[in-house]
Chain A
Amino acid sequence: MNAIVWQALQIVLVVALAPLVTGYVRWVKARLQGRYGAAPWQPYRDLYRLLQKEAVVAHSASWIFRAAPYVTFASVWLAACIVPTFTTNMVLAPAADLIALVALLAVGRFWTALAGMDVGTSFGGLGASREMLIASLAEPAMLMITFSLSLVSGTTAPAQIVAFVLSGNVGIEVSLGLALAAMVMVAIAENGRIPIDNPATHLELTMVHEAMVLEYSGRHLAMIEAASMVRLTLYIALIATLFAPWGIAQPGAGAAGAMLGLVVFLAKAFILGTVLAFFETSIAKMRVFRYADFLGGALLLGLLATIFLYVSEAV
């Protein structure tokens, strides 16, 4: 019974919290840059305002253009519902493990990239092409991280990994450190953050994600924006859950445990958000063709993480 309640809470939580997390990161960045910045809850207002505006669709667009925002949002939302945030006791969690989670995010990307090419503009194609380049390296890196986590804990289900780490059978492992580094790199790339992409830019030649969704407006744009926000929250939750699961309620922890888990999760989310803002402020964006080096590095780190397991075993 509890599992159903917590699942329902999780479904609402990820969507309700996502704009705040994004707004908070923006706010901290503005402060670090010496600006006042908009209030952290500004994204809620932005989304609401976009919903009120009429949607403009190009003559050359097909139904894919109109369906893509909803498909993208639903797939990212679905993925976010499955990552444990405050409790691992959720009824739908076994429906997808980490491999399926990576694939669910790929569904959203597939549709957004198609939508980018749908109108037939140069920018749309440019964004789609670069986004797919990033994905073709980030996705394998993410799977290698999954591989090393599954070797350490014997499972690919996030809930079971949490249970394994919390059971205290795991010390400080070099592999986990490498996997964490790779995971952070993947998260940066997948969310289009600096140094890979700049979510605030509208300078043509440096855009990736923004170029792809350039034709969107009104409620379609709101869906795309909301999907990005949920994706950011998802990755923050994933890093917090897999590498710092302390505080998460386990099955049988009861309502009090879950509430504690919720508070701890909020704290973790804001700490990671602050770290992200500091990181983004202190680094410059990379040239497009350097992406392959950055993400190839993430892939190799993921591979090293698995291989280090045996090396440390053998020594």
Chain B
Amino acid sequence: MLIAGALMTLPLLAVFAILAGRRDFSHAVVYAGCFVASVALLAGGLQYLGGHSGSPSVVLPLGLPWIKAHFRIDNLTALFLLIINLSAAAASAFAVGYGGHLPQRRRVTPFYPIFLLAMNLVLLADDAFTFLVAWECMSLASWLMVVSDHQDAENRRAGTVYVIMAVFGTFCLLPCFGLLAGAGGDYTFEAMRLRELGALGSFLVALLAILGTGSKAGLVPLHAWLPLAHPAAPSHVSALMSGVMTKVALYGMIRILLDLHGELSWHWGAGLMLAGGITAVLGVLYAVMQDDLKKLLAYSTVENIGVAIIGLGLAIAFKGDGQKELAALALVAGLYHMANHSVFKTLLFLGSGAVIAATGHRSLGALGGLLKRMPWTGAAFLVGSAAIASLPPLNGFVSEWLILQSLFKGPAMPHWAMKFGVPVVGAFLALAAALAATCFVRAYGVAFLGRPRSDAAAEAEDVTFGMRVSMAVLAIICVVMGVIPVTVTDALTHVVRPLTGIDLAVSADLGWPWLSPVSSTRGSYSATILVMFGLSLFAIAIFIVHRLGTQATRRADAWDCGHPEDIPESQYTGPSFAQPLRRAFGGTIFQARESVTMPEPGDSSPATHQVRMIDPIWQGLYVPLGKVVDWIADHVNRLQYLTVRGYLLMMFGTLVFMLLVVAVRQQL
């Protein structure tokens, strides 16, 4: 009831936004309405999580008359409702103060509620038709917001790439659901679960599902659109696209692979795990080289999706091998990471929105020293950075710990591919986590610390109260989900039970604050205890220092080893911070080349330093693919200039071919 009411409100808000878009207050009203609707949906999700109220379903006479629209809430849906609407509520609250001041606000506000509605409907859909319609609405609404600032050529290009990839995703999902439904044509999920797939069907469904949902989630090499499209939208929309829409895509992947598809062999899990590992490392390597704050965050999304997919792939591999307990553990880890990522990525994107609102810049090279000017945003961004760098006691570390723990059990599987593959993926994951820490030390250090690199940064003012509160709430959630992880994992076990068929106890035998999967002697972690212990050590250290020593403090100019420079350009910048990593990794992967041009002696012109990098996936995959498409288009073009005879012949030939196919099939 609550959910239905909230969903009904969203299209009304969109209509209102179109009608009243001229008035300044209308934007605040729409976003406030979206906030209320998201909170209602959040409450709805909470109510159904745990499965005490069963999994209610409803059939509405919408859409195609012989299919109707089926909706259902089970534990998985409830969890994702929670994940999505938490971030949506924060982004909407942020947008109350933010969305009305965008230059292109009238091209964003009407589509925002539609976007929220579509994402929620994807989760609630219980038949393929509704699912795909909602999925497309989600893509189109977000596409419209990506191209809202279409004066910028960069954004137009982002829009083009995005719409092509979105079409590709749906193009894969359409036959995937077709195969799942089979010749009977019953498109409800209920019927799909009961159907037995043949060997070929099973293979194709898994492949198409991974391609279709993976392209939306940003799985390498299908990620190319993500770092273009996510930053192009206004920040509160970027937050939703990065933090939330990718989760909807992962929901689709889990729904199809683990729920609808029935039995999946472990090979798919192994492959997915490896793809996740590569995605994680490549994503973070791109991220650490970026100078644009929002692009950096978008690439870091690619990394985190990779990490979550490692957990998902492991779960599928374990499940395919019959090790249900480990499958449940890996799936809990993956889901935990998805929930975490949606919280801290939304927080970080909102933080970048605050920075843009305050300074007008999103390039790291124009920022600096913002922590002093914007203490609230700075503190919230710090929590988000530490969480995404998977530092204890925050939430990012809990999911990383769980994924590592389940990875460490991977070699228990009898297959050699897993025995050798799992350590490699483990190394990828560890590398990605360490590089993520570097990436966010760099982002935070350059943007928020040091001295301002532009006048706009020097005169920045912190954002409005509402925007600060929405960031602060997300930061607090990061801490809470990190400090009491067992409460979260207990909720997740309800979700995992129907998918893996086992009741997992993540706090096996040590009890509440101890995370000790499988058994306490296998390794345990308790953030709750560590925080209390750490805080007391912190207090003791301060007490001893102040007791033994002096408290005198003097403010002075920076020392800088004896030769301080007044100009802020003397600080380390984003590119200079990344230079050692560029040398270590960039040479082979990005073919990074640095060149320095020194002026002649006696010439007073400045020396220049240039870095040239290429995107291996764009250059190696997309550009050739584009050429092939162009070539085909050129050759197919001739068909436009045939004579009437030619066209009739073509139709006749097609007819004969089709009849032959039917004839051959009947013979077999």
Residues of A within 8 A of B (CB): 11, 48, 50-60, 62-64, 70-71, 73-75, 77-78, 81, 92, 94-100, 103-104, 106-107, 109-110, 113-114, 116-126, 128-130, 132-133, 135-140, 143-144, 146-147, 150-151, 154-157, 160, 204, 211, 214-215, 218-219, 222-223, 288-289, 291-292, 296, 299, 302-303, 306-307, 309-310
- Do residues A147 and B423 form an inter-chain contact, with CB atoms below 8 A? yes
In the complex, which of the residues B386, B430, B533, B571 contacts A140, with contact meaning CB atoms closer than 8 Å?
A: B430
Contacting residue for B545 out of A110, A139, A151, A223, CB 8 A: A223
B contact residues vs A (CB 8 Å cutoff): 368-369, 371-372, 378, 382, 386, 389-392, 397, 400-401, 404-405, 407-408, 411, 416, 419-420, 423-424, 426-427, 430-431, 433-435, 437-438, 441-442, 444-446, 449-451, 510, 514, 516, 520-526, 529-530, 533-534, 537-538, 541-542, 545, 548-550, 552-561, 564-565, 568, 570-572, 576-581, 583-584
Question: How many angstroms from the CA of A289 to the CA of B582 in the assembled complex?
Answer: 11
Contact call A103/B548, Cβ cutoff below 8 A: no
Known A-B contacts A95-B526, A97-B525, A289-B580; the reply to A58 vs B438 at CB < 8 A is no
Judging by beta carbons under 8 Å apart, are A121 and B570 in contact?
yes
Instruction: Tell me whether B554 and A135 are in contact (CB under 8 A).
Output: no
27 contacts between A and B (CB under 8 A): A54-B553, A56-B555, A57-B555, A58-B555, A62-B371, A104-B392, A110-B437, A114-B445, A114-B449, A118-B445, A119-B558, A120-B450, A120-B568, A123-B561, A124-B560, A129-B442, A136-B431, A137-B431, A140-B430, A143-B430, A144-B426, A147-B407, A155-B521, A155-B522, A218-B553, A222-B549, A292-B580
Kindly identify which residue among A64, A135, A151 contacts B411, using a CB–CB cutoff of 8 Å. Answer: A151
Q: Is the CB of B404 within 8 A of A99?
A: yes
Q: A51-B548, A53-B550 are in contact. List 7 more A-B contacts (CB 8 A).
A: A56-B556, A64-B371, A71-B538, A122-B572, A133-B580, A157-B523, A215-B560
Q: Are B559 and A58 in contact (CB under 8 A)?
A: yes
A303 cross-chain contacts in B, Cβ below 8 A: 423-424, 427
Given contact pairs A114-B444, A147-B408, A160-B521, A77 touches B537 in the complex (Cβ within 8 A): yes
Chain B residues with CB under 8 Å of A107's CB are 386, 391-392
- Are B583 and A292 neighbours in the complex by a CB distance under 8 Å? yes
Please, which residues of chain A bring their CB within 8 A of the CB of B400? 103
B554: contacting residue among A54, A113, A132, A289, CB under 8 A:
A54
Bound-state Cα–Cα, A151 to B411, Å: 8
Note all chain B residues with C-beta closer than 8 A to A51: 545, 548-550
Docked pose: A55 CA to B554 CA in angstroms: 6
> Once the chains bind, are A114 and B441 in contact (CB under 8 Å)?
yes
One of A54, A70, A128 near B552 (C-beta < 8 A): A54
Contacts of B442 in A (CB 8 A): 129, 132
The CA-CA distance from A126 to B423 in the complex, in Å, is 33
Asked if residues A77 and B441 are in contact (CB atoms below 8 Å), the reply is: no
Distance between A57 CB and nearest chain B CB, rounded to angstroms? 6
- Taking a contact as CB atoms under 8 Å apart, the answer to whether A110 and B581 are in contact is no
Shortest distance from the beta carbon of B433 to any chain A beta carbon, whole Å = 7
Collect the chain A residues with CB atoms within 8 Å of residue B445's CB. 113-114, 116-118, 125, 128
Q: Are B525 and A60 in contact (CB under 8 A)?
A: no
**In the bound complex, do residue A103 and residue B572 qualify as a contact, i.e. CB atoms below 8 Å apart?**
no
B579 engages A129 (CB within 8 Å)? yes
* Cβ-defined contact, B550 with A94, below 8 A: no
Which B residues are in CB contact (< 8 Å) with A154? 521-522
- A215 and B558 contact, CB distance less than 8 A: yes
Quote the shortest CB–CB distance from B337 to chain A (angstroms). 15
Contact check, A103 vs B392: say whether CB atoms are below 8 A apart. Answer: yes
Please, how many angstroms separate the alpha-carbon atoms of A56 and B549 in the complex?
14
Residues on the B chain within 8 Å of A223, using CB? 541, 545
Contact A120 B534 (CB under 8 A): no
| Contact A60:B558 (CB < 8 A) given known A96-B525, A144-B427 | yes
Q: Tell me the bound Cα distance from A250 to B426 in angstroms.
A: 31
**A147 CA to B419 CA in the complex, in Å?**
12
Q: Which residues of B lie under 8 Å from residue A137 when comparing CB positions?
A: 431, 434, 584
Task: Tell me the complex Cα distance, A11–B534, Å.
Answer: 11
Whether B580 pairs with A129 at a CB distance below 8 angstroms is yes
Choose one: A48, A58, A136; the contact of B556 (CB below 8 Å): A58
Chain B's nearest CB lies how many Å from the CB of A11? 8
Contact status B401-A70, CB under 8 Å: no
Choose from A58, A121, A157 the contact partner of B524 (Cβ within 8 Å).
Answer: A157
Q: Contacts A140-B427, A310-B411: A57 and B554 contacting too (C-beta < 8 A)?
A: yes
Whole-angstrom CA separation of A63 from B446 in the bound complex? 16
Nearest 4 Cβ contacts at the A-B interface: A125-B572, A51-B549, A117-B445, A120-B450
Partner of A139, one of B434, B523, B565: B434
- Minimum distance in angstroms from B420 CB to a CB of chain A: 6
